[in-house]
Amino acid sequence: MIDKKSKSAIIFATILLFVALVVLILYLLPKISQLKTLSNQVESKKIEYETGKLRIDNIAALNEMVGQYKRQAELLGIALPSSGRAEDALLELSSAASDSNLQVISAEVNPEGKGSLQVSISTRGTFENSVGFINKLKSNLRPIKVLDLSMNKSDDEIITSLDLNFPFFVEVSATVSKTPANSTSEAK
């Protein structure tokens, strides 16, 4: 038979095994559960981080788009300004004439009406420079309608007279007319 010493060693080993299982159950399993929770939180934070990076990239892309649209709006404001400032029209014309090596003899602004300015300008210079001036007006960002053009030779120079129309943006407010609704009642 098993002697007393071996029996007590087996009992002691069994108790130690039981204590180890209890420690394992009470201490290690909650720690493993906490590690799993922390691992899930880390994964969740990674996803939030990636989402945040995507949002930052989207915001940067949107800022770039807004910048492009702002530049386009500024160009549109140049092409079709909201007011018919005569100074701007005259500055455009004198700059184009100067770039074409033409001398401005006279310039006159007549407000044509709602939405445009009429400008009459006369220049002096060579035929080639006058044609260059007209081409500059044609390729200008702001639309210019030529109403009348005449060229006369004087000595060795050409005198060019132009009547131009400079449109500008006029906001038109729409009026809504309300008509009374036709109501019919049927008698039964």
For 1, the 3-state DSSP assignment is coil
State residue 184's pLDDT score.
46
Torsional sign, CA 149, 152, 158, 159: negative
Question: Are both 95 and 75 inside the same structural domain?
Answer: no
State residue 188's pLDDT score.
40
Give the mean pLDDT of 95-121.
83
Tell me the per-residue pLDDT of 41-83, one tens digit each, with 9 for 90 and over. 999 999 999 999 999 999 999 999 988 888 777 666 555 555 5
Say what the pTM is.
Answer: 0.49
* Count of domains forming the chain: 2
The string of DSSP letters for 136-153 reads HHHT-SS--EEEEEEEEE
For residue 147, the enclosing domain spans: 86-167
Any idea which residue has 């400079």 for tokens? 166
79, 113, 143 - which closes a domain: 79
Q: What is the CATH number of the domain that holds 106?
A: 3.30.70.60
pLDDT of 32 higher than 80: yes
Question: Are both 35 and 50 inside the same structural domain?
Answer: yes
pLDDT of 187 higher than 50: no
In a domain, 174, yes or no: no
Question: Are both 73 and 108 inside the same structural domain?
Answer: no
In a domain, 108, yes or no: yes
In a domain, 97, yes or no: yes
State residue 116's pLDDT score.
75
In a domain, 186, yes or no: no
Which residues, at least 6 apart from 89, have a Cβ–Cβ distance to it below 8 Å?
109, 117, 119, 166
Q: Which residue has the higher pLDDT, 23 or 113?
A: 23
pLDDT band at 185 (very low <50, low <70, confident <90, very high): very low
In a domain, 177, yes or no: no
79, 114, 140 - which closes a domain: 79
Radius of gyration of the chain (CA): 43
In a domain, 64, yes or no: yes
8 residue type, one letter: S
16, 49, 79 - which closes a domain: 79
Distance CA 46, CA 93 (A): 61
Give the mean pLDDT of 152-178.
71
Question: Are both 30 and 90 inside the same structural domain?
Answer: no
